[in-house]
Structure 1
Amino acid sequence: MNVEHKTLKGGEFIIKETEAAEIFIPEEFDEEQRMMSETGHQFIAAEVTPLLDRLDNHEEGLMEGLMKQAGELGLFAVSLPAAYGGFDRDFNTSLLVTESVGGGHSFPVAFAAHTGIGILPILYFGTEEQKNKYLPKLAAGEWIAAYCLTEPGSGSDALAAKTKAVLDTSGENYILNGQKMWITNAGFADVFIVFAQVDGDKFTGFIVERTAPGLSLGNEEHKMGIKGSSTRQVFFTDCKVPKKNVLGEIGKGHLIAFNILNLGRIKLGAATLGAAKKVANLSVKYANERAQFKLPISKFGAIRHKLAEQAVRIFAMESALYRCGNDIYQKEQELLAEGKPFSEALLGAAKEFAAECAILKVEGSEVLDYVVDEGVQIYGGYGFSADYPMDRAYRDSRINRIFEGTNEINRMLIVDMVLKKALKGELDLMGPAKAVQDELLSIPDFGEEEEGLFIAEKKIIRNLKKAILLVAGTAVQKFMMTLEKEQEILMNIADMIIRTYVAESTLLRVEKLIGQKGEEAAARQADMACVTLYEALDKIYLAGKEAIGAMGEGGDEQKLLFIGLKRFTKAEFYNTKEARRRIAGTLIQANQYVY
C-alpha cells in the first residue's frame, strides 16, 4: 500500500486538522487485498455458516478443524514475516482479513484470539529460537494459540494476577501454580501465552505448551453467546515450564500484555465491523421479503430509518477503522526507517495510537450492538425466534463490550492516554485549550468566506474539537490529580472524543472519495457523512453539558462554559430524514449493504 501520508501523533487529531489526501480509505484496497478478503468471506459462507448449530453445541473437534482449515488457506499468515511462513502484508490488510471473517459468529472469536493475542506476543517479544519453533506452525494452523491473562480475582486489574512462577532447584525450569479463566481456545490450544508473578511481584510472560506436566483444563463455560468458541479455565499445578520459554524479560510482562491489547482492541473493531455488515445484509433482505398491509416493510419510513441508520453507523466505523490502521502502518514504517527493530516498530506504532485503538474497540462493539438490536426489531417476532438468525447475532454481539477491556475502562483509557501525552510534552493540549478559553471572552470571528468541499462541515469539526478542549481543559484545571476519580466526567469527555474522531474520519473519507469519483458517484456516502456529523453534534452537546454540570454549582464560570459549549455545537439545520431515505433507497434497491 503506497500512500503518501503525513502521520499525526496519536491523539493529535484533537488539536490539528487532517487533510483528506493524508488518510487511507477502504475504496483504495487493491485487487490482491480484496482477494484475501474474499477468501475469508467465502470460507465463512461455505465452511462456517452451515455448521453454526453444531458449533454452538461444541461438537468435538469441529472448531479446531475449522481453525486448521483457515490456517491452510493462509488466513492466519497475512501480516506475519515471510521468514516465519507469513505473507508480510501491511497492518490494514490484516484488519481487512479480520473483518472478512467477522460475520462467522463464534469463529472470529477463536480466529482473533489465535492471530492477535495468541501469535503476536511471540512475534514481538519472543527470542529467535522461540519464533522459529512456534510461528511457522501457528501461521499454518498446525498449532493453535491461546492467551492466559485473566484470573478469578484480576480482570481489568491484570497486574494483580496471583499465578506464581518459581525457579526450581535445577535452575532450568519454572514451576507455575495458579489458575486462569475465560481463556478462549483453551479446549484445543497447543500453545498458551501465560502471565505469572516471578518472585512474588515480577509480572512475567511464559510460553507454555499443552503437553506441559501440571497443565489441566476446566469444563467448557456455559455462555450467553459465542457458544461455539471454546472458553475454559486453565489450571497450573506444579506445572513445569523450561526457563527458555520465558517470553520477553522477567518482570516486563506488562509490556507484552498492554501492548498486545492495543492491537487486540483495533482488531476487535475490525471483527465487529464484519459482523455488522452481515446483519445489515440480512436486515435489508428481510425487509424486502416481509410484507405487511400488502407492501414490503422496506416501503415504510420507520423501517427505512432503521436500515439507513445501520448503514450510516457501519460506514462511519469503517472510515475510522482504516484511517487508524493506516496511521499505525505509517508510524511503523517511520520507526523502521529510524532503525528500530521489527519487534519494536509495530508495537511502538500501536502504542502511539493506543487512544485511537480504544476508540475503535468502543465504537465497533457499540455499533454492532445497535445494528443487531435493530436487526431483531426489523425481523419483528421472528427476530425473537431462535430459528431465525437474529437470535444468535444478538447474543453473540454482547460480549464485545466486555472483551479486551470493558468499554467503561476503554473510555477512561482514551482520556487518560491523551492527557498523559500532554503531561509528557508529547501533545500540546494546554496551549489550544487556553486559546479556546480566550476565544470565549472575545467577539466571534466570522472570518472570510472559504471555498471548497464541506466548508460548513469542516467548521463544525473544528468547533467540536474546541468543545472537547473546553470541557477537558476545565476538568483538568478543576480536579488536577483527582481527575481519575471523576469517572463519569471522563466518560463524557471520551464520548465527545469518540464522536468527533468518527465524524471527522467519515467526512475525510467522503471528501477523498469525491476527489476520486466525483460528487454524483459519492452522493449517498456524502449523505452518510452529514448524518454522522449532525448526530455527533447533539451527542457531543449532551455529553459536554453533563460534564460541565458535574463541575460546579451554577456560578458565572459554569454559565460561561455552557455558553461556549452551545457556541461550539451550533449548526444550521440538516434534513436527516431525507438523507436517510436516500441511503435506504440504495440499500433496498441493491437488496444488500452496498457502501
Structure 2
Amino acid sequence: MDLELRGGGFLLAEVSPDQVFVREEINEDHLQLKRMAHNFMVKEVAPKIEEMEEQQEGVVREAMRQAGELGLLGLEVPEEFGGLSMDKASTVVVGEEVPRGGSFAVAYAAHTGIGTLPIVYFGTPEQKAKYLPGLASGEKIAAYCLTEPGSGSDALGAKTTAVLNAEGTHYCLNGTKQFITNAGFADVFLVYAKVDGKLTNFVIERETPGLSFGPEEKKMGIKGSSTRQVILEDVMVPVENVVGEVGRGHVVAFNILNVGRFKLAAGAIGSASVVLETALKYASERKQFGVALNTFGAIQSKLGEIATRTYMAESVVYRTAGLMENGFHGLDLTGDCRKEAGKALEEYAIECSLNKVLASEVLDFAVDEGVQIHGGYGFIQEYPIERMYRDSRINRLFEGTNEINRLLVPGTLLKRAMTGELPLLQAAKAVSKELVSGGMSSDAEGLEGLTQITQKAKKLVLMAAGLAAQNLGAGLKDNQFVLMGLAEMVLQVYAMESAVLRARKVQTLDVSDQHKAFVEKAATLGTYEAFNILEQQAKEVLCAVEKGDSLSTVLAGMRKLVRRPTVDMIGLRQEIAQYVIEKEEYPTR
C-alpha cells in the first residue's frame, strides 16, 4: 500500500487532490439515497420526536422497522443476507440525515454500527445467515455490550466471565454491562466476556434464560433512546455463538469501535448542519432593535464560524470514507473474513479517532452557539435547539471518550514507527536537518499558498514528535500532557490538509462558481484557525521536552515553520456568513 494511503501516512506523504474523496463527488445514487433518508426522517420520524422523548413504548422500535423496510438498516450488510452492500460514502450521506429524527439517531447508529457490524466483519457464514437478514430488515434490533460499571475506557478491565461447561457445548456468562443503548427493546446482544482472562465476543438472544435488564437510565440528553444495564446470571451461550475467536475479543471490540467512531462523526456533521439551519431560520425571523438578528455582525460571526468548522469536519469525514472504501476493496463479506476485516479496520484507527474527536467537538461548538443565537429562547424546551444542545454532549463520551481517542493517535503513530510501518522518526530527523540548512518560504497565495502552509504544519508536527520521542524516550508513552498536545497537532494537520485538498479538487468539479468560492474561503479560514491552534500546541510541547539553549534553538527553528502570509480572517468569516444566510442552509454544492 502506498504511504499516502496508509493509516497515519498523511503526516509523511505529499497527498494530491485526486487521492482524496470529497463530498462534491457523491453520485446520483448517493443523492437518491440521501433524499430518501431525508424524507423518511422529516416525514415519519421527526413528527414523533416528542413521543420518543417521553419514551412511549414501541415508537422507536416501529421507526426502526420502517427504516428496515426502506433498506436503511442494511447499507453495509451483504446483499446475500438481505442488505444493500453499499459503499462507505452511502453510510455517510444517510448518517448525515438521521439526526433530524432526534434520539432515533442513537438507536439507529447503535444498531447499524457497533450492533450489526461485528457479525458482518467477524461472524461465521452461519452466524451471518442466521442474524443478518433480521438485522437488515428491522425484524431484529441489536445492542453492543462492552462497558461495565467498573470499566468504561478500560475495556480490557472487564469483569464479566465466560466459563466453558464440562460438555464443551456452552459458555456460562456472569456479569453486568452498563449504559447499553437499545437494551430496552433489542433482540440480539453482542456481549464481551473473559474466557480464562481473555476478552471474547458472544452473540446472545434476548430470550436466553438468565439475561435481565436494569431500569431505564435518566439521562441529560438523548432521552428518546433506551439505555439500561444488561445483567447476565448463569447465561448459557452455545459455543457456536462466539464471534471471532476465543480470547481475541479485543480485536473485534477495538476494530468495531474504529468504524463506530467514523459513523459517529458522520452523524455529528449532519447534526451540525441541522443546527446551522435552525440557527439561520431563527436569526432571519427574530428581530431586535427593529431589524433581523442575522444583520448583526456578532451573530453573523457565529454563523460563519459554525459553517467553517462544519466544512472542516465534513472534509475529514468524506476523505476518511474514501480511505476506508479503498481499504475494504475486494473484501468478501459473505464468508469468513475475520482476519482480512480486522486488518482493514485497524489500518485507519488513527483517522477514525480524529474523525470522532473533531466532529463531536465541532457539533458541541455549533449547538452552544446555536443556543446563544436563540438567546433566552434557546433555554426553552419549546425550541428544538434546547434538545440539540443536550443531545450533543454524549458524543464526546460515546465510542471512547475524546481523551482516550486523542491518546490513541500518538500512541498508534509511535507504535507504527517502532515497527517500521511508518518512517516517522526518519522523517523527523530529515525536518531537523532541513531547518538547520535554511528557511522555508511560503509566499504563494490562494490554494497553492494553503498547500505550502499545510506542508509546513506537517513538518512542525514531525519536529515536535521527534524531539518528544528523543528526549523523553520510553517515558513519552506515560506523559499524557505531551501526548495530548501532539494529538491536537495531528488533528489540526489532518483537518487542514483535508480541507485544502477538497478545495483544490472542487475547483475541477462540476459545481457552481459560488460553491467553489465558498469552499476556498472556508478552507482558508479553517486552515488559518487550525494553524493558530497548532502553533500554540507546538510551543507547549517543545517547552515541555526541551530546556535552556537547546529550547532556544528549537524555537528558532519553529519560527521558520510558522511563518505564513496574513489573511483577513474577519472578512472571510463575514463573507461565509453572508453566503449561508443567503442560502438559508449549510452549502453542499
Q: TM-score, normalised by structure 1?
A: 0.95
The residue that corresponds to 2:181 in the other structure is: 184
Would the aligned equivalents of 1:179 and 1:235 in 2 still touch at CA under 8 Å?
Answer: yes
Provide the C-alpha distance between the structure 2 equivalents of 1:453 and 1:226, rounded to a whole number of angstroms.
42
Q: Which residue of 2 aligns with 1:412?
A: 407
Contact 1:103 1:276 in 2 (8 A): no
Aligned-residue offset at 1:347 = 3.8
**Unmatched runs of 5 consecutive residues or more in structure 2:** none
Counterpart position of 1:88: 85
Q: How far apart, in 2, do the equivalents of 1:518 and 1:137 lie?
A: 40
- The alignment status of 1:573 with 2:573, answered yes or no, reads no
**Does the 8 Å contact 2:122/2:337 carry over to 1?**
no
**In the alignment, which residue of structure 1 is the partner of 2:53?**
56
Q: Which amino acid aligns with 2:277?
A: N
Q: Which amino acid aligns with 2:21?
A: F
Matched letter for residue 375 of structure 1? G
Q: Does 1:156 align with 2:150?
A: no
Structure 2 CA distance for aligned equivalents of residues 6 and 592 of structure 1:
37
**Aligned amino acid, residue 527 of structure 1:** K
Partner of 1:311: 307
Q: Give every structure 1 segment of 4 or more consecutive aligned residues whose post-TM-superposition deviation is greater than 3 Å.
A: 334-337, 340-347, 517-521
Q: Is 554-563 or 322-331 further displaced after alignment? A: 554-563
Q: CA deviation at 1:41?
A: 1.5
**Could you tell me which of 124, 136, 139 is aligned with 1:139?**
136
Report the 3-state secondary structure (helix = DSSP H, G, I; strand = E; otherwise coil) of the residue aligned with 2:508: helix
**1:212-227 equivalent positions in 2, closer than 5 A:** 212-227=208-223
CA contact under 8 A between 1:103 and 1:271: conserved in structure 2?
no
Q: Is the 8 A contact 1:187 1:230 kept in 2?
A: yes
Distance 2:164 2:513 in 1: 68
C-alpha spacing 1:205/1:445, structure 2 compared with 1 (3 Å):
closer
SS at match of 2:99: coil
Deviation digits for residues 557-576 of structure 1 (CA, Å, limit 9, x no counterpart): 11122222222122111001
Question: Given the alignment of the two structures, is residue 514 of structure 1 paired with residue 495 of structure 2, yes or no?
Answer: no
2:517 to 517, 520, 523: 523
Compute the displacement of 1:72 (Å). Answer: 1.1
Q: Distance in 2 between matches of 1:155 and 1:180?
A: 10
Per the alignment, residue 460 of structure 1 pairs with 453
Matches within 5 A, 1:408-557: 408-444=403-439, 446=441, 454-517=447-510, 520-521=513-514, 522-552=516-546, 554-557=547-550
How far apart, CA to CA, are the structure 1 residues paired with 2:328 and 2:3? 13
Q: Deviations over 1:36-71 (max 9, x none)?
A: 112221122112222222211111111111111111
Using the TM superposition, give the Cα deviation of residue 120 of structure 1 relative to its aligned residue in structure 2, in angstroms: 0.8
Question: Is the alpha carbon distance of 1:347 and 1:250 closer, same or farther for their aligned partners in structure 2, counting shifts above 3 Å?
Answer: closer
Counterpart contact for 1:167–1:174, Cα < 8 Å: yes
The amino acid of 1:72's aligned partner reads E
Partner of 1:395: 390
**SS, match of residue 101 in structure 1:** helix
The aligned counterpart of 1:122 is: 119
Change (3 A) 1:266 1:518: closer
What is the percent sequence identity of the aligned residues?
46
In the superposition, the TM-score normalised over structure 2's length comes to 0.96
Q: CA deviation at 1:345?
A: 4.2
1:72 paired residue number: 69
* Aligned partner (choices 25, 28, 31) of residue 31 of structure 1: 28
CA distance in structure 1 between the partners assigned to 2:562 and 2:405 by the alignment: 25
CA RMSD in angstroms, aligned pairs only: 1.9
Q: Secondary structure at the match of 2:175?
A: strand
Counterpart residue identity of residue 86, structure 1:
G
Match of 1:14 among 6, 11, 14: 11
In 2 relative to 1, CA 101–518 (structure 1 residues): closer, same or farther, beyond 3 Å?
closer
Which is further off, 499-508 or 347-356? Answer: 347-356
In 2, are the aligned partners of 1:225 and 1:399 still within 8 Å (CA)?
yes
Which residue is 1:45 aligned to? Answer: 42
Structure 1: gaps spanning 5 or more residues: none
Q: Does 1:285 align with 2:278?
A: no
* CA shift in 2, pair 1:518/1:207, >3 Å: closer
How far 1:548 sits from its partner (Å)? 1.4
C-alpha distance in structure 2 between counterparts of 1:512 and 1:417, whole Å:
29
Letter in 1 for 2:388: A
Using the TM superposition, give the Cα deviation of residue 202 of structure 1 relative to its aligned residue in structure 2, in angstroms: 2.2
Provide the secondary structure at the position in 1 that maps to 2:309: helix
Secondary structure at the residue paired with 2:507? helix
Deviation of 1:464 after TM superposition, in Å, equals: 0.3
Question: 1:236-279, CA deviations, whole angstroms, 9 ceiling, x for partnerless residues?
Answer: 11112122211121111111101111100100100111111101
> 1:335, 1:568 → 2: CA distance?
42
Alignment length (residue pairs):
585
What secondary structure, in the 3-state scheme, does the structure 2 residue paired with 1:416 have? helix
